[in-house]
Amino acid sequence: MANALKAHKQVGEEYLATAKPSSVVHRFPFPPQMVWNALLDGPAWTEWLAITQVTWTSPKPFGPGTTRTVEIGAQKVEETFFAWDEGKRMAFRFERSTLPVSAAVEDYRVVPVEGGCELHWSGKASAPLFLGALVTGQLTKGLKEGMPKLEALIASQPERFK
């Protein structure tokens, strides 16, 4: 039997500011638009992270209020985007999930640099006892290991992300 989805706290920018979130930065030898396009490609997420499915549940154009559902094995997360700067930034909160958290946020920023761009990720989760730190640590580890895989994916299929 699948775990029931639980509603989480309605958090956003202020939540990231309340304590230092965990962060990961990766430099890509690609134009920012290619990395951004990879972030918009639902199936691509399953190719570079331990995610089994990503479903955008809002129509384009995406922006604040956009929703999507992410599945990680038997776990499910319904996300709501609270920040969206096309081509530059997307940030979302966990609206409801099967995870043992009371609140969680992820923030992705694509920053142009000489010869390509950097993807800056920050995230934070809160939960009873040590579980918030555990979930935050797992998110951080996944992104740190995943970003080189994202780079390899874009390099192997550049036409897909133009």
Taking only the tens place, the pLDDT of each residue in 111-146 is: 999 999 999 999 999 988 778 888 888 899 999 999
Q: What is the model's pTM?
A: 0.94
Among the ranges given (9-13, 36-40, 78-82, 132-136), the one the predictor scored with the smallest mean pLDDT: 132-136
pLDDT at 105 over 60: yes
| CA distance to 30, 48, 92, 112, 134, per residue, from 12 (Å) | 29, 25, 7, 24, 20
pLDDT at 40 over 80: yes
The average pLDDT across 54-66 equals 97
pLDDT at site 128: 83
pLDDT at 2 over 60: no
What would the two tokens of residue 11 be? 């958090």
Residues of the chain with pLDDT > 90, as a percent, come to: 82
Question: Which tens digits make up the pLDDT trace of 66-85?
Answer: 999 999 999 999 999 999 99
Between β-strands 75-85 and 89-97, what pairing exists: parallel, antiparallel or unpaired? antiparallel
pLDDT at site 19: 67
Domain 6-161, classified CATH 3.30.530.20, yes or no: yes
pLDDT at site 1: 41
HEC string for the chain: CCCCCEECCCCCHHHHHHCCCEEEEEEECCCHHHHHHHHHCHHHHHHHCCCCEEEECCCCCCCCCCEEEEEECCEEEEEEEEEEECCCEEEEEEEEECCCCCEEEEEEEEEEECCEEEEEEEEEEECCCCHHHHHHHHHHHHHHHHHHHHHHHHHHCHHHHC
